[in-house]
Structure 1
């Protein structure tokens, strides 16, 4: 956003110290009052409603949650929307719990650390964690607004998208002095409405939108179809970064349908890799040379080989592979020009940072999820970047995020 703030970087680059982090992937637990406050009155009876009730059995099967309700079960905060129930689970509000307590059990906001849903408390937790600014993905709407895209009543769904965005910009981020960076939704089911929402939010300083890593998994057109071109054009024109979180396709990779959740967690980067290949060979980045893509929580150690393989396929197989006239330069050209990755535990990626791209990698803390480095982010970062040049450390910890999101912090 166009907000000038105190940089808070301490001694800054060139001193050997870790500058304050700008995290490009965190999460917010929506407050219970969100839709009552921000949804127009005529939609409130059909919009999402908060409730607190017991939860029954909860499992993670084939990359999706399965649960039952139980009046005698553990007290849990839910959303009710169009007859469906959406519980909050401890693993998505895990900060403050021990590793052995980070389970699939339900949780209430009262049991969560307050920074999960309160912006002032979030900034306090950021201060404890050596973090200056944070970009937060949604929870109840899911990572790119799938909840509203799946709604039967699209008029109410559109109102919910707009209400969420208004809350995000004006309440969650509004009093933060630029430290909480707005990340908005689009109505995925209507390209014209999506473009209008990009422009509406860009006019008030928003420079980030969340999008599906693999839209076809959501029953939407692919990026190869040309359907999304008006959306990409609007993002390019307004400088809006397209942010794609792992799981924003509503499924996670698994080797077997009955594999334990640890398999999905270990393979989570696969969706980011598949999505990046889609974009590199789609012609989208050729057609929109100033469009910026960001992959969230996909880590980066896989990127060097992915680029090597993409360039090799382009060199050796482009004729029969269908991209001879579509992709005029090696695919890695477009990656280095237009794509950002992020990491928080990826020492292999750091060892290959020159190939990953010192101008392409950003940092995240994943607050408040089970993977979060809170409150030890500074220590984790120091262990990763020890031995790197100070100017490279600065880029990884904040400089690339500032450039990616066009932030008014120190450059």
Structure 2
């Protein structure tokens, strides 16, 4: 099988040390994020959260320092190039990382090695939907940081990539009108994706049921901006026992995506904004069939008392198939359930450079999943659905690059 060149809808970028020094206006730089290298102390994992301190005698680590925050880069988020046993929670410097983590030209080269044509990258230091800036005390500086990050994302990270690096921007989560303005500012320069929290109430923000976010959703619908929600974008991952090891959290990582999708299906948001597009990133898709079945059953059997009789006029799955995209990279159960997941709703990701990443074996992993599917479906999963979702100016029919796919390349 000739596998189409992949459009990955979920990868990550490690921010370069010069980002805010270069892109933040000079008057804010002394109050904005600073990059430094310092030792790291022992990392603790307590109740689903990490605790870490600086230690002058600890291993050298690259940090961001911002207000009272000390944010270290760890191997698990810059894991490509390490063996599985080396992908730990230890600190890491950019010099120790594979250069493609933070350098756009090196990233393009690694994408070629991974059979990837285009990539949408989530932030690291700002966290998955910009929580770092939403939690800051000085909101004037925080707003400048959001805009500086977006300027860097559009003009530097993606600027010289020929459309292969796809811009994904932040919003100031603390003010919906400022968020609308940022959506419009970025849409005017071709941005068609924004990152948002899967469960904003977990961040102390209004829920999607409140109507507060409707101007944001309206602006996204009007500009064709996809609302991308990454697992963990609610600043917490599902956990079981407080003393459970991180492996439990990793196993349950899809749970917040499932909760978020149920929230949206019964919120009326997709009814009021029928052209709004939602994308769930790194949530996999094997859970989708039952979630839809249960939502439709609840709508049929329980709508009179369940608060949605007059809010949701059609079965909830109607809105999923019309407006929601999921993604996968290792999910054979999801592939087996593809007719229910939706052949037009599933997209592929590589998760570069995280510990879950399929790189550099992305092509082999993808082929192992799609072998036996018809050519049209394979094309949709690997690139077609992502191109349609994001409105990308890419060749929809590109399937094979002889220079990149020849043996030994």
Match of 1:290 in 2: 275
Match of 1:8 in 2: none
Q: Tell me, what secondary structure is at the counterpart of 2:283?
A: coil
Match of 2:155 in 1: 170
Q: Does residue 18 in structure 1 map to residue 3 in structure 2?
A: yes
- Within a 5 Å distance, the mapping from 1:8-407 to structure 2 comes to 16-407=1-392
Match of 2:403 in 1: none
TM, length-normalised to structure 2? 0.96
**Greater mean deviation of Cα atoms: 331-340 or 254-263:** 254-263
Give the Cα–Cα distance (whole angstroms) in 2 for the partners of residues 362 and 60 of structure 1.
Answer: 32
Q: Tell me, what secondary structure is at the counterpart of 2:50?
A: strand
1:65 Cα deviation after fit: 1.3
Q: Tell me, what secondary structure is at the counterpart of 1:57?
A: coil
1:60 Cα deviation after fit: 2.5
Give the Cα–Cα distance (whole angstroms) in 1 for the partners of residues 250 and 242 of structure 2.
Answer: 14
Match of 1:6 in 2: none
Give the Cα–Cα distance (whole angstroms) in 1 for the partners of residues 50 and 190 of structure 2.
Answer: 35
Give the Cα–Cα distance (whole angstroms) in 2 for the partners of residues 255 and 84 of structure 1.
Answer: 27
Give the Cα–Cα distance (whole angstroms) in 1 for the partners of residues 49 and 109 of structure 2.
Answer: 33
Deviations 1:225-262 (A, max 9, x none): 00000000000000000000000000000111111000
Match of 2:402 in 1: none
Match of 2:405 in 1: none
Give the Cα–Cα distance (whole angstroms) in 1 for the partners of residues 214 and 274 of structure 2.
Answer: 13
Q: Tell me, what secondary structure is at the counterpart of 1:258?
A: coil
Aligned length: 396
Match of 1:3 in 2: none
Q: Tell me, what secondary structure is at the counterpart of 1:170?
A: helix
Give the Cα–Cα distance (whole angstroms) in 2 for the partners of residues 322 and 89 of structure 1.
Answer: 44
1:64 Cα deviation after fit: 1.5
Give the Cα–Cα distance (whole angstroms) in 1 for the partners of residues 194 and 48 of structure 2.
Answer: 24
Give the Cα–Cα distance (whole angstroms) in 2 for the partners of residues 62 and 239 of structure 1.
Answer: 39
Q: Tell me, what secondary structure is at the counterpart of 1:242?
A: strand
- Kept in 2, the 8 Å contact 1:292–1:404? The answer is yes
Runs of 5+ unmatched residues, structure 1: 1-15
1:62 Cα deviation after fit: 2.2
Q: Tell me, what secondary structure is at the counterpart of 1:259?
A: coil
TM, length-normalised to structure 1? 0.96
1:59 Cα deviation after fit: 2.2
Deviations 1:35-89 (A, max 9, x none): 0000000000000000100000112222221112110100000000003210000
Match of 1:9 in 2: none
Deviations 1:258-294 (A, max 9, x none): 1100000000000000000000000000000000000
Runs of 5+ unmatched residues, structure 2: 397-409
The ranges of structure 1 where at least 4 consecutive aligned residues each deviate by more than 2 angstroms after the TM superposition are 59-63
Give the Cα–Cα distance (whole angstroms) in 1 for the partners of residues 28 and 344 of structure 2.
Answer: 45
Q: Tell me, what secondary structure is at the counterpart of 2:305?
A: coil
1:362 Cα deviation after fit: 0.1
Deviations 1:86-145 (A, max 9, x none): 000000000000000000000000000000000000000000000000000000000000
Q: Tell me, what secondary structure is at the counterpart of 2:108?
A: helix
Give the Cα–Cα distance (whole angstroms) in 2 for the partners of residues 245 and 62 of structure 1.
Answer: 21
- Kept in 2, the 8 Å contact 1:59–1:104? The answer is no
Match of 2:406 in 1: none
